[in-house]
Structure 1
């Protein structure tokens, strides 16, 4: 299959509690898996090799994915510790799981920056495999994946981080959304928008520097002038807005009210008469039913 890596989940803690013992057990299991992968790739049986098209390739790495529930092994710290001690493994960051397990920890671009810095400082990598999707979560547990727009895990902060501060990242971003292709395109569009915003901001900064050089002032002073001009324009716009005219209710003369009351009185009598007639008809209908 020539996969770059094979991603696995460790599963429940079982009889073990969180801690060093559980991490050592998981590390031992993954060491065995890595060794088996190397044995397959380096199979010397020329007659019946397991994967003959991979004989010249590099053995696939084993991806250890973060889990999204408290009872499952696979917090970010646990995954990083095992990957740091088992050669041939890489962390697979399921951002929806990390968000859910952290009680909604990924809210801003700074949150993503802290996450990737933590991984880089722990295992010293610039290569990241990340899964992204919307997620419904409760009490630190992922319930199920959702469409990105219907989740509190927003993609815009991640797109902003990738464009603004993620130039050092070598990231493979995978859509786990129930709307697989739709949300994949949604992520691409958000990254493109973040890139356009960055270009627009840089263009404004370059223009400000050029104007500041012409006026023989610093770019900071030019920015302050622009802010003052914008504030003055906003103030003028508010001043030019005319308040809506007040509509006062005119009180009708008492004589006119009395005339209208007299006109309405016969209508009430006629309505009462019609009700009486209706009652008579109702009685007749009841008599018909009796017979």
Structure 2
């Protein structure tokens, strides 16, 4: 349709492509092949790309998920955009259930990839300058850097795991004995005496049936 309708732009739903390919979008090379294929067939550098996590099964998309809860990672796409996507005019659209959260997550990953690229270029420039000064090849310097980094990692002190806190001993709970006030005791005793008197009076007027027969 894009080839036949002027002014249209191809839209790639990366999550659906990943699901239909049984989880094929895993590396930056996978994205390179995808965009190259679309560019060769359509001849455009402008793309709209929908991205989100996705749950899929047997080549079928089930539903969108948060990016971090899916096997579709955004880091390879960010790496491709920064490293090899200079020719792309791409608009990324978040389809995640956590719309704004994952949109910020994608933007942060692109920034991280840019920082990594700058750091790598700085290391390469420094290695090239050292190679000219020392007469050693860049490969030798790279190997030496790797060895130094490994030695530093091995010599770094390992932080001990924090000790588990000792269980606190519960203080014995003193049971406070509630003492009744003398006035309350006297009141209870008087109440009991009153009940006994009432019972005695009832017994005086309680005649048996045999007594009634006498009259």
- The reply on whether 1:156 has 2:94 as its aligned counterpart is no
Partner residue of 1:237 out of 130, 155, 161 = 155
- 1:150/1:228 CA distance change after superposition, 3 Å: closer
User: For residue 84 of structure 1, what is the aligned residue in structure 2?
Assistant: 3
Aligned-partner Cα distance in 1 for 2:34–2:62: 22
Find out whether 1:125 has 2:44 as its counterpart.
Answer: yes
Post-superposition CA distance 1:128-173 (Å, at most 9, x none):
1110011111111111111111111110110011111111100011
Cα distance in 1 between the residues matched to 2:59 and 2:153: 47
Unaligned runs of 5+ in 2: 159-215
* C-alpha distance 235-203 of structure 1, shift in aligned 2 (>3 A): closer
- Give the corresponding residue for 1:213: 132
Number of residue pairs the alignment of both structures matches: 158
TM-score by length of 1: 0.51
Match of 1:194, SS state, is: helix
Match of 1:146 in 2: 65
Deviation at 1:223? 1.5
Aligned to 2:96, the other structure's residue is in SS state coil
Q: Give the secondary structure class of the aligned counterpart of 1:90.
A: coil
Matched, 1:224 2:134: no
Structure having greater relative contact order (Cα 8 Å, sep ≥ 6): 2
After TM superposition, list the pairs within 5 Å mapping 1:161-200 onto structure 2. Answer: 161-200=80-119
Q: Which residue of 1 aligns with 2:167?
A: none
Q: CA deviation at 1:86?
A: 4.4
Aligned counterparts of 2:59 and 2:106: Cα–Cα separation in 1: 25
What are structure 1's unaligned runs of at least 5 residues? 1-81, 242-291
Counterparts of 1:143 and 1:214, CA distance in 2: 58
SS of residue matched to 2:136 = coil
Give the Cα–Cα distance (whole angstroms) in 2 for the partners of residues 235 and 118 of structure 1. Answer: 42
Counterpart Cα distance in 2 of 1:125 and 1:165 = 16
- In the alignment, does 2:8 pair up with 1:110? no
1:201 maps to which of 120, 126, 135 = 120
Distance 2:58 2:66 in 1: 20
Larger radius of gyration: 2
Spell out the pairing of 1:3-22 with structure 2 (5 A cutoff): none
Query: Match for 1:137 among 56, 67, 71?
Result: 56
- How far apart in 1 are the matches of 2:108 and 2:145? 31
Q: Give the CA RMSD over aligned residues.
A: 2.1
Deviation at 1:217, TM superposition (A): 2.3
1:227 Cα shift? 3.0
